[in-house]
Structure 1
Amino acid sequence: MYDVAIVGAGPVGLYLACELGLRGLSVVVLEREPEAGSVWRAAPLGMRGLMAASLAGFYRRGMLEDLLKVDELEDQPKTLQGVGHFAGIMIDPAKIDVTGMPYRLPTQAPDAVMTDLAHVEQVLENRATKYGVEVRRGQPVTDLTQYDDHVTLRTGISEYAARWVVGADGGRSAVRKLAGFEFVGTEPTFTGYTFQAEVDDPTKLNQGFTTTPNGLYVMLSKTPGHIGVMDFDGGAYDRTQEPTKDHLQEVLRRVSATDVTITELRMASTYTDRAMQATTYRKGRVLLAGDAAHIHSPLGGQGLNSGLGDAMNLGWKLAATIQGHAPDGLLDTYTTERHPIGEWVLDWTRAQVTVLKPGPHGRAMQGVMRDLLDTPDGAQYIYSKISGMANRYDLGSEHPLVGRIAPEFRLEDGTRLADLMQDGHGVLLDFTGGLADLELNSNYRYAAGRANDDLGLAAVLVRPDGVVAWAGDADRNAFDAAAKRWFA
């Protein structure tokens, strides 16, 4: 019997597998696809943006260097380049001052990186297998049964037993359906298309994001022939229908208001802005993460990043539960912390759909948003949200740093916070030595020493997911209460 069976070998499932494997648990990852690295996951169709919060996670676990060494990422600038958009309105990096963001310290992790799913999965699977994780492909889950102390999964050709199961198997999650999770939200207003094609005259289409009276289309110069279109048809043309060349040409012409002709269609896929979320992320011994827990349109680039955030939050809590040193209720905080983030992501994408809707109301909202994004405050606000660095869990503390991703503190001896977190433990940074004689917990590291910039703090307790659990002036009672809450 495995400690954990993860269903889905995408970035979310594999990152979670790394977190659990790092702590010595027995983990199997079941993936329905028979092979890794499909054309839909490699560039250009699989291109995604990794934002600051996600990159901080790779950095803390010593995987950032491997991620940036892969192919075209090796020479990618580490400064902000094309940091994102809101409803197709690009954010100007020149208007963003990352160093001016609250509780921000210099870090070796970039603030944004464009990569593709295949590269991310390659890095994560390499690390997971190093920890002894088994990745088994061609294993679509067809049945799930919960017992008091374990769960069984049937794939049609095999049966697996695990103490816990995590569904990270995408928006049409078999685990979510088989375990009976409630999935609620809003129905779609548009059909989105992404396809690779040759067109008769590419100059008829603008480069970048172009909003029109009938929707939006995207054509990027770095990926010739890769076209995206959003058609506000109520989501009528979804994945149940195969998009043909004639249909795509009709939609592209109508949305772009051009007479462009598709001369060759190589591949195409559809999606919608359906926005749904599981009402809880746990039922008994089954948990959900990533798209299995929440689906939405790709507007704003939050899907991959929010899923990785789920994995970071869940990994150490599930490991502590299995290994018997979790405080009471620790695993329940996965839902209470991540569900509000999922709700925000759904609303964030819904807001962008509203801005893009054809008609006078959408045009009015576009004008407002363009004016706001043309200001430093507006650009900074949007970036802070999509970067993930503005997210804050409600951990019951009034201190404004508690619940946020920890700044990259650096001690005067050169030790960085990330150096102390690669083994998956929490960290107590004691800048004044005021907590040196306390009885410490083996589940977090203790590091004392002055910092290059301590942000006016005497000490900081950081959870294994990089979130600040406590910060203050070395108040021993307050620290002890926080440490017991998260580390027992």
Structure 2
Amino acid sequence: MADQDTAAVVIAGAGPNGLMLACELALAGVGSVVLDGQPGPGDEPKSNGLAGQVVRILDMRGLYQAFGGPDGPSEPLREWMFAGMGLDFSGVPDNPMRALLIQQPRVVRLLEKRARDLGVDVRWGHALVGLTQTEDGVDAFVEGPGGTYCLGAAYLVGADGGRSLVRKTLGVEFPGSTSNTVTRLADVHLPDELRGDDGAYVIPGFGPLRMRHNRLDDGGYVFFDIPSGRTMFATVEAGRLPPDAPPMSLEDLRASAKRVFGVDVPFEPPRGPGPHAMRRMDGINTRLAQNYRVGRVLLLGDAAHVHSPMGGPGLNLGLQDTVNLGWKLAAQVRGWAPKGLLDTYESERHPVGERVMMHSLSQQALVAHGPEVDALRTLFGELVELPQVRAHLARLLAGADVRYDVGDAHPWSGFLVPELVLDDGRRVAELLRDGRPVLIDGSGGAFATIAAGWADRVELVAASIVESPVLGLLVRPDGYVAWATEAAEGPGLVAALQRWFGVSISSA
């Protein structure tokens, strides 16, 4: 074994979550090494976009336009889907639901470039094969091109997927369930002569294909006709695969489509350069790690939670976990974290994971088969006509319905900061580009004076919030409000600063 190397933080897994965490740590002045056993970024399009509050998080880091969003802030969605049923969000007050079309391979490449530009050491072809930890640090054992070596670190984060070696090594329970379904998914080509006058594909003997998830009498299908030229088609059937099932193929998908649709679906192999999606899922796991942290090792992304892709919650959940963890872990490494700060990663994000598990399983139940489910879908369709139900679902699917316990009673505290504009024309989101906490002082300088002892950690901004009575606003690096007040004397500000950003310079 080669001599030991060292790093402040080792991250196992160079997917979107692992790379984003490395970027967050770098913004906070903490170096990391990202390990991945693959030789480089993969090309298989595992997801097609981002949905939920994560789109606003990208805006806060200046990544929204880089990921393909238009100029300006993101706009709320007028509609979305729940278990294949349309949801009309028009008229929902302060609608938090956002979306951005971008395939996962591009997300990985953009984040890898950002990470390298920030000085992160990304090591493709270096696989974590084991770890041990003590009270003082973690030893990561790595298999690289030159053999096995030991990489010492203060902390290690497992962002290594649903079959996480890190989670298994820690012995963390991964309770949940597996659906009794088989999903077959592939990129395909549909002949142009199947397009109707409205541009939709029409299958002879069946009718038009509808986008997203759809429920039929003998199964279900998922269809996406993406403007970039990719056409993705999937079938969902009840049952499980036999142990000797052959590998997934286009013929396998054709046979499944005929069982589901009752007619032949004349799709062809995909056109253009690959690689193209071609995979089969024998059951869909819905599982949540019992703990997100064991000592100096933490879990992130699919290593901490797996669920159905229905509704697109995956990267919304994982990337928000990332920005929640990044600044807290950096504070711990740099030595100014208040007691218990790192533990709030689990206490804040585990309930959000539970909510995603809940609505993921609910959607799977609503696309199951039987007359009782037909009746339930009819009732659900009536309920979503109610404005308060639509608003509730918008917040649920966006991940905006869980309030963090930040110790402050203001209605904004504990939630992602609203879309706000300052009297100098700047948006509050633009103040968070560098991943630093921000104190907005509209009191004429009183709050900045109180917070002067934290100026090395907190950005002090003298400005007023347009069309708002709020005079003081403390926003954490992850975009969540830690304190707000409409009173000029600023009650509770010192307590909030100490709770989240440690002792003042004078106290230290």
Question: Normalising by the residue count of structure 1, what TM-score does the alignment of the two structures yield?
Answer: 0.88
Instruction: Tell me the SS of whatever aligns to 2:185.
Output: strand
Pick from 403, 409, 415 the counterpart of residue 392 of structure 1: 403
**Offset at 1:314?**
0.1
Aligned ranges 1:170-185 → 2 under 5 Å: 170-185=161-176
Instruction: Tell me the SS of whatever aligns to 1:141.
Output: strand
Instruction: Tell me the SS of whatever aligns to 1:386.
Output: helix
- Specify the alignment match of 2:64 in structure 1: 64
**Offset at 1:101?**
1.6
**Offset at 1:373?**
3.4
Distance verdict in 2 for CA 1:59–1:273, change over 3 Å:
same
Q: Distance in 1 between matches of 2:464 and 2:75?
A: 28
- Specify the alignment match of 1:258 in structure 2: 263
Q: Is 2:72 the partner of 1:84?
A: no
User: For residues 298-357 of structure 1, what are the alpha-carbon distances to aligned partners after superposition, in whole Å with 9 as ceiling and x for unaligned?
Assistant: 012111110001001000000000000000000000000000000110111000011111
Distance verdict in 2 for CA 1:238–1:216, change over 3 Å:
farther
Pick from 467, 473, 476 the counterpart of residue 463 of structure 1: 476
Q: Distance in 1 between matches of 2:178 and 2:24?
A: 34
Q: Is the CA contact 2:221–2:233 (under 8 Å) kept in the aligned structure 1?
A: yes
Q: Is the CA contact 2:49–2:99 (under 8 Å) kept in the aligned structure 1?
A: no
User: For residues 459-485 of structure 1, what are the alpha-carbon distances to aligned partners after superposition, in whole Å with 9 as ceiling and x for unaligned?
Assistant: 111111110011122554411111111
Distance verdict in 2 for CA 1:136–1:192, change over 3 Å:
same
Distance verdict in 2 for CA 1:401–1:154, change over 3 Å:
same
Q: Is the CA contact 1:7–1:169 (under 8 Å) kept in the aligned structure 2?
A: yes
- Specify the alignment match of 1:48 in structure 2: 49
**Offset at 1:369?**
2.5
Q: Distance in 2 between matches of 1:80 and 1:410?
A: 17
Pick from 215, 230, 246 the counterpart of residue 236 of structure 2: 230
Q: Is the CA contact 1:239–1:270 (under 8 Å) kept in the aligned structure 2?
A: no
Q: Is 2:120 the partner of 1:133?
A: yes
- Specify the alignment match of 2:21 in structure 1: 16
User: For residues 29-84 of structure 1, what are the alpha-carbon distances to aligned partners after superposition, in whole Å with 9 as ceiling and x for unaligned?
Assistant: 1112112141x13xxx5412333x2122222222223222xxxx569996456753
Instruction: Tell me the SS of whatever aligns to 1:65.
Output: coil
Q: Is 2:139 the partner of 1:143?
A: no
Instruction: Tell me the SS of whatever aligns to 2:450.
Output: coil
Which is further off, 177-186 or 373-382?
373-382
- Specify the alignment match of 1:438 in structure 2: 450
Pick from 311, 321, 325 the counterpart of residue 310 of structure 1: 321
Pick from 115, 140, 163 the counterpart of residue 102 of structure 2: 115
Instruction: Tell me the SS of whatever aligns to 2:419.
Output: coil
**Offset at 1:12?**
0.7
User: For residues 251-286 of structure 1, what are the alpha-carbon distances to aligned partners after superposition, in whole Å with 9 as ceiling and x for unaligned?
Assistant: 222222323355548652123331111111001111
Q: Distance in 2 between matches of 1:206 and 1:403?
A: 42
Q: Is the CA contact 2:183–2:235 (under 8 Å) kept in the aligned structure 1?
A: yes
Q: Is the CA contact 1:15–1:308 (under 8 Å) kept in the aligned structure 2?
A: yes
Instruction: Tell me the SS of whatever aligns to 2:175.
Output: strand
Question: Normalising by the residue count of structure 2, what TM-score does the alignment of the two structures yield?
Answer: 0.85
Q: Distance in 2 between matches of 1:301 and 1:258?
A: 29
- Specify the alignment match of 2:197 in structure 1: none
Instruction: Tell me the SS of whatever aligns to 1:64.
Output: coil
User: For residues 126-178 of structure 1, what are the alpha-carbon distances to aligned partners after superposition, in whole Å with 9 as ceiling and x for unaligned?
Assistant: 22111110111112221111123221222323422211111111111121112
**Offset at 1:228?**
1.6
- Specify the alignment match of 1:101 in structure 2: 94
Instruction: Tell me the SS of whatever aligns to 1:129.
Output: helix
Q: Distance in 2 between matches of 1:415 and 1:65?
A: 17
Amino acid in the other structure paired with 1:347: M
Q: Distance in 2 between matches of 1:139 and 1:239?
A: 33
Q: Distance in 1 between matches of 2:245 and 2:119?
A: 38
User: For residues 365-404 of structure 1, what are the alpha-carbon distances to aligned partners after superposition, in whole Å with 9 as ceiling and x for unaligned?
Assistant: 2212223334544433322222233332123443321110
Amino acid in the other structure paired with 1:482: A
Which is further off, 179-188 or 193-202?
193-202
- Specify the alignment match of 1:124 in structure 2: 111
Q: Distance in 2 between matches of 1:76 and 1:23?
A: 26
User: For residues 281-300 of structure 1, what are the alpha-carbon distances to aligned partners after superposition, in whole Å with 9 as ceiling and x for unaligned?
Assistant: 00111100111100011012
Q: Distance in 2 between matches of 1:145 and 1:446?
A: 41
Q: Distance in 2 between matches of 1:262 and 1:302?
A: 28
- Specify the alignment match of 1:481 in structure 2: 495
Unaligned ranges ≥5, structure 2: 1-5, 195-200, 271-275, 503-508
Which is further off, 288-297 or 123-132?
123-132
Unaligned ranges ≥5, structure 1: 105-109
Q: Distance in 1 between matches of 2:277 and 2:451?
A: 61
Q: Distance in 1 between matches of 2:405 and 2:135?
A: 31
- Specify the alignment match of 2:330 in structure 1: 319
Q: Distance in 1 between matches of 2:405 and 2:120?
A: 33
Distance verdict in 2 for CA 1:82–1:6, change over 3 Å:
farther
Work out which of the two has the higher radius of gyration on C-alpha atoms and give 1 or 2: 2
Provide the identity percentage.
Answer: 35
Distance verdict in 2 for CA 1:361–1:32, change over 3 Å:
farther
Q: Distance in 2 between matches of 1:238 and 1:20?
A: 44
Distance verdict in 2 for CA 1:274–1:391, change over 3 Å:
same
Instruction: Tell me the SS of whatever aligns to 1:55.
Output: helix
Q: Distance in 2 between matches of 1:177 and 1:320?
A: 27
- Specify the alignment match of 1:107 in structure 2: none
Q: Is 2:437 the partner of 1:413?
A: no
Amino acid in the other structure paired with 1:86: F
Which is further off, 253-262 or 180-189?
253-262
Distance verdict in 2 for CA 1:246–1:351, change over 3 Å:
same
Q: Is the CA contact 1:6–1:28 (under 8 Å) kept in the aligned structure 2?
A: yes
- Specify the alignment match of 1:278 in structure 2: 289
Instruction: Tell me the SS of whatever aligns to 2:160.
Output: coil
Q: Is the CA contact 2:352–2:399 (under 8 Å) kept in the aligned structure 1?
A: no
Distance verdict in 2 for CA 1:139–1:358, change over 3 Å:
same
